[in-house]
Each structure stands twice: as C-alpha cells, then as structure tokens.
Structure 1
Amino acid sequence: MTAVARIGIPARLSALEGADPRVALADGLLQAIVALTEADGVAVEVIGPDDADLARFDGFVLPGGGDVDPALYGGDQDAPVYDVNPEQDAFDLRVLEHARAAEAPVLAVCRGLQVVNVALGGTLHEDLAATDDAHRIAAGDGAGEEGLFAWHEVAVAPGDPLADAYGTDRPVVASAHHQGLRDLGRGLEVVATSDDGLVEAVRATEGSWLLGVQWHPEVARPASADAGDDRRSVPFELLRAAVAERLALADAGR
C-alpha cells in the first residue's frame, strides 16, 4: 500500500451498555477483528454512532451483534429475537450506505451480513429451524469462548476468491447465530452455503467490493480440535487486498 489504509468498525452499542449478557463477547470480538485486520500500512478504528466523519475510512467491517429489527424487512415481530436495538440498526445501515456511496470495500460478518441483505431489500429467517448442521451451540454447552461456537464445513463456489484463498472449497468455520438469509438482497450473489442450504457467504455483483460471511472469521479453532491449517483470517486478507487496490487506483488517478 502506498498510503496508510484506514478501516472503520461500527461499535456494538448494547455491548458498550451491557444491556444483554448474550452480547457480552461483542467487545472481545471487535478486538479480535482489530488484531486480525491490522497489518503494516493498515490502521483500524472502532467508531461510535455520533461520528459523522466516515469519509476518512478506506474500508469497513460490519461485525456481529444482536438481531436486526424484523420491522425493517417485514418480518414476524413476535419471533424470538434478542437485543434488537433501533439505534444499532440505524448506525450500521448508515455506515453501509456511506461505504457503498463512497465505493469503499466492506467485509460484513454474521449480523453484518444480515444488515447488508436487509439494506438491499432482502429478508431473514427470524429463528432458524433445527437441521443436521449446527449453527450455534446450545446455552450452557461447553466452557468459555470455545463453547459458544459451532464448527462446520461450508461449501464455497469453486473458483471463487474465497475458495482460492482458503485453499479448499470446504473450509471449516465458526458459527454462532440463530438467524440467516431468506430472500437474497439486490445485487448480491451467493458464494457459499452450508450443507443444509443456508446462505453462508455472499458478494456484491455491482458497485465496489463487498463480501459478507455468516461465520466468525475472528474466532480461533478450539485447542481440542484438529486445527489443521488455520486460515480463519482469509476474509480479512481479502478485505486488505480490496482496500489496497482501491488506494492504488486512487494513487494512479492523481
């Protein structure tokens, strides 16, 4: 990179307020994203909802968090959702709207993917039915962070940059969600699914670079698992590459 790239991450407001114990890890997840995203020539900043100066960022990460308000996509408002926060929804949507208008690359993680889909006219499964693929660990199972995530394979479209970067079209990923994409938003294509058919990753087919993953790439494999080649940071590496390309094009145009 010929200049320092700045990546912005909207804060998780309920985690800051301590409103719900189920999002208590949100701040820790943000710090993990910061650590995995940072590299030489990259500066990462967690931004607050009152920050109007989004133009200083060259890319964005929309992280996980509580559920998107079903009212935003015509969903069932009596469904079992948690930590719905209109201020968080408005904040994340504003960041996404700015990023798309500014043609800044976006990596959307878990809730972030769902925000992207809703913003582009898509809908969500308010509460996923049980399938043979575990997308979350039941409350009380396991211990510590390892007990909060289910690990399963996803099928990535052969030849997609995700598959190339992982070195396989069947990477093992960390899941912790009870919602998922139902109707796909405008200008998105599915590039990965779980074996039960749930959308696991999308990318934008128009406008600037955007990748959304339903899993948590900031989470390390449990010590008890066969970690193999730990490639969890792949989505962040792809974001860095997209930001570098954006800066290079900007330099060339000067």
Structure 2
Amino acid sequence: MPKKSIENTALRLKAILEILAAHDPSEHGKTSRAEVLRQALEQVPLEEAETALLASGVARGERALVTASTKLVKAGWILKEGRAGWSITGAGRAALAEFPAVEQLQAALHGSRQTIEAVTVSEAQGEAVLEEALVSAEVTPPAAQPHGSHPEENYEGPSFPQPGSVAVPGTFGAVLGGDDWDPGADSVQLGFDRSDELWKLTVDLPPGNYEYKAALNGTWAENYGTCAHFDGANYGFQHAGGPVTFLYDHATHLVVTKPDSV
C-alpha cells in the first residue's frame, strides 16, 4: 500500500475515535459500522488511487480502513459488537487525549514512540499479504485449523477477536448434501487459517449460477452480504464447474470466491 494511503488510513483511524467519542453515551454509546465508516471517509476522502474497486466491490481505501480498525480493537480502544454497532472505551478516550497528533496515535498502536514513517514498511507488507490472499487469481488454501485449537506451542491466538464459526449458506447447500441456506450445515463451514487469519473452504460444485452469504456462529443473527454489508444482498457467482474456494476476512466482513464473484 502506498505511503500516502497509509497516512490517510492513520488519519481515518483517528477520525473513527473522534466520531465515537462524540457520540452521546446516553444513547447506548454505540454507532453503526456503516455510519462510522461513512463519517470517517467523509472527513478524509478517498484519493484516486484508493477508489479502485476490489473483487468484492469495495474500494481499496475503505477496505484498508476496516482492516486497520482491528488495531483499535486489539489496543482496547474501541468495541465492535456486530448488530449493536461500534463504541469507544475509556482507554480509547484516554488515547485521544494523550496522543493528539496522528503520528503519536499511530505509534501508540504499534506499541512504541516511532513516527508514522517508521511503521510504513510493516503496514504495507501486512496489507500486501491480505491483498494477495483475497484477490490472487490462484488460491490454494492450506489445511484450515479449527478455530480455538492450539496445536502449536507458540500460538498465542488470533490478533483480533474471531467468531466461533463462519459458514457460507446458499443455493448450493443441497448439492453438497445438506439444505439450501442452512447456516448450520457442516458442508458449508469454513476453517480458520492462522497463517493469514482468513476463514476458508473449498468445495466441488457443478456448473451453474449460485448465491450465498456469510453467516456467523451457526445462525442468521449476524450475516454479511455483498460489499460486506450487514444483512446485505446475496453474493452471486457463475461457476463453470469444479472446485471453488471461499475466503472470509473477519476484519472486513468481506467474502471472496475463486473463481471471482460476479
């Protein structure tokens, strides 16, 4: 990710904290994800290079912001509670007061007093890894590990909270031996890959046109459709037959299929 885009993302992260801090705590203290992102992007608009659409239909700059916002969760500065919305914590309010400059805030997110320029390389590398995993034309997912199991002695868990399960129920459920649109069917459950913190599933499907959504924790209570919209429209793809891979990123709530969704 270009240095300018990283700086813009840092400005938008600060805007997210300010937006949430301005929300009246008496009104449940939460703001919808869509509203937070809308206001942040209104305050720091996308530049031309950031408006390019990814395979999911989301602008590159917006996805970078949603991905980066997980750092605010990991730092304990904000809470993301699905349907309930986003809210700022006491630690988040303290961070705004202690780190008034965006460079200070960004450095604090990385656990040091480094300037934003010093973390540009690591930010770009992390973004490149996610970009490659999500939009590469040749995806061969490694064997996914069940979320919550820890066979590696040095595994410390995901870098940000993950759901208990992720499924892709859709019009192909019956083809896979279950029921269409069943979020609890074993055949549509994705596995969590610790190497890139993406949820993945590869299945064989006959030729046809299919629709699906991402459903979390075995129910429809929290689900995501096109452009990562909560309870949004169905994803759709035209398949020539054979293996198809689903990748879900909980940082952005995006789903990508290979072959690409249409």
TM-score in same-fold range (> 0.5): no
Structure with the higher fraction of residues in helix conformation: 2
What is the TM-score of this pair, normalised by structure 1?
0.25
Ranked by relative contact order (alpha carbons within 8 Å, sequence separation 6 or more), the top structure is 1
- TM-score normalized by structure 2? 0.25
